[in-house]
Amino acid sequence: MKAIPYGRQNITEEDIQLVVETLKSDYLTQGPKIAEFEESFAKYVGSKFAVALANGTAALHLCTLALGVKEGDKVITTPITFAASANCIRYCGGEVIFSDIDPETYLLDINKVRKLLESAPIGTYKGIIPVDFAGRANDLEAFRKLADEYDCWLIEDACHAPGGSFKDASNTIQLCGNGNFADLAIFSFHPVKHIAAGEGGMITTNDKALYQKLLQLRTHGIIKNKNLYTNTIQLAGGTNEYPGWYMEMQDLGFNYRLTDFQAALGMSQLSRADEGVKRRRDIASNYFNAFKGKPFIKGQSELIEGHAFHLYIVEVKDRLELYNHLRTKNIFTQIHYIPCHLMPYYREFGWKEGDFPASENYYKHCISLPMYPTLTDEEQAYVIREIHTFYSEKY
Ligand SMILES: Cc1ncc(COP(=O)(O)O)c(C=O)c1O
């Protein structure tokens, strides 16, 4: 059996053709593909605006910047996520306040966040970053209510969940990143994600002012709009009007742009996104049925409506042995994630073992099984068989 990773991209001939067409066009960057991708993506998630970026980390950074995070601002997030969800707070000098997960959903536990918010005067915490971990959507309606009570903003880290959704209190389906509850949502187009662009990211929002701020921050803080210039026409070198070349850098921004050929790849992948989510759900269903009732699986939730299944995670007995055994069989599982608060960088801020029992217990047992649309039935059956064999020899 060829090597089976935990996740991988699917590049078709059509993807390649679209990228090549863009490479042959007039624009490698700052061309028309960016706006096309943004429009299609906004439509896909149901938001008003979308801003394409170099990667998901840049997207998170611009979110915290646009929301005005500054030195010492306290922002709450989960320890069970990729470090970037927390790091974006530090990029602006803010203080990362971790809060434990719900051991059933693996998502930020809203009741624990509420306790944290209740324990300090309003204004102590500036924002909350829930992560749609593994592709499971947070109840953002509930988070929005809580955030409003405590004067906090909300960033949805939806990197794992394009195509995911939850049902709100009125039973309406709310797509991840649709901007109905979170101020800003972010996505990543890293190859293991649902939509691969090599590297790439997107912010979605329904807030026009934030959208315009993000556009400016993406390109060095530069604007090209004569109605907003603060320098005079004369200083700009014109007589009656601003000269054609003129632009103003009004804020300290970055070059966080996506290229046009990456956007072309993203667009092409986006056209198959629903197909991919459907296949992921079928794979999840196969795993669920294969391991239902087995004593070695410590945590396997029922198939959850709206789960986008970026990852298929179970909690198991003898995790290290299983991980190593599967490697000898050419099956490369992964662990998502080492709790952020135990990373040496964050331990320097005083976080320590024992701070978040649910997250730490989850980390002891979790394992991500192969999950990607091109995983064949035969390959999945092989993975399932090897896991059963491993445990049947032990118990
Ligand atoms: C939950 C989460 N947030 C943020 C990121 C950062 O995205 P990128 O790798 O595109 O910078 C990732 C990517 O791994 C992620 O999984």
Q: Measured in angstroms, how far is the CA atom of residue 159 from the centroid of ligand 1?
A: 6
- Confidence at residue 353, expressed as pLDDT on a 0 to 100 scale: 98
Q: Which two tokens stand for residue 232?
A: 């005079």
- Confidence at residue 298, expressed as pLDDT on a 0 to 100 scale: 79
DSSP-derived secondary structure for 315-329: EESSHHHHHHHHHHT
* 273-to-54, 163, 189 alpha-carbon distances in Å: 20, 7, 12
- Confidence at residue 394, expressed as pLDDT on a 0 to 100 scale: 81
- Confidence at residue 124, expressed as pLDDT on a 0 to 100 scale: 98
Q: Measured in angstroms, how far is the CA atom of residue 103 from the centroid of ligand 1?
A: 22
Rounded CA-CA distance 157/63 in Å is 10
Q: Which helix (H) or strand (E) holds 50?
A: strand 49-53
Q: Which residue minimizes the CA distance to atom 8 of ligand 1?
A: 56
Which atom of ligand 1 is least distant from the CA of 60?
Answer: 4
- Confidence at residue 289, expressed as pLDDT on a 0 to 100 scale: 93
Which atom of ligand 1 is least distant from the CA of 58?
Answer: 11
- Confidence at residue 225, expressed as pLDDT on a 0 to 100 scale: 95
Rounded CA-CA distance 93/217 in Å is 17
Q: Which residue minimizes the CA distance to atom 10 of ligand 1?
A: 56
Whether 57 is in the pocket of ligand 1, judged by its Cβ within 6 Å, is yes
pLDDT per position in the chain (395 positions), as tens?
Answer: 899 999 999 999 999 999 999 999 999 999 999 999 999 999 999 999 999 999 999 999 999 999 999 999 999 999 999 999 999 999 999 999 999 999 999 999 999 999 999 999 999 999 999 999 999 999 999 999 999 999 999 999 999 999 999 999 999 999 999 999 999 999 999 999 999 999 999 999 999 999 999 999 999 999 999 999 999 999 999 999 999 999 999 999 999 999 999 999 999 999 999 999 999 999 999 999 999 988 888 766 678 999 999 999 999 999 999 999 999 999 999 999 999 999 999 999 999 999 999 999 999 999 999 999 999 999 999 999 999 999 998 87
Q: Which residue minimizes the CA distance to atom 14 of ligand 1?
A: 82
Whether 188 is in the pocket of ligand 1, judged by its Cβ within 6 Å, is yes
Q: Measured in angstroms, how far is the CA atom of residue 188 from the centroid of ligand 1?
A: 6
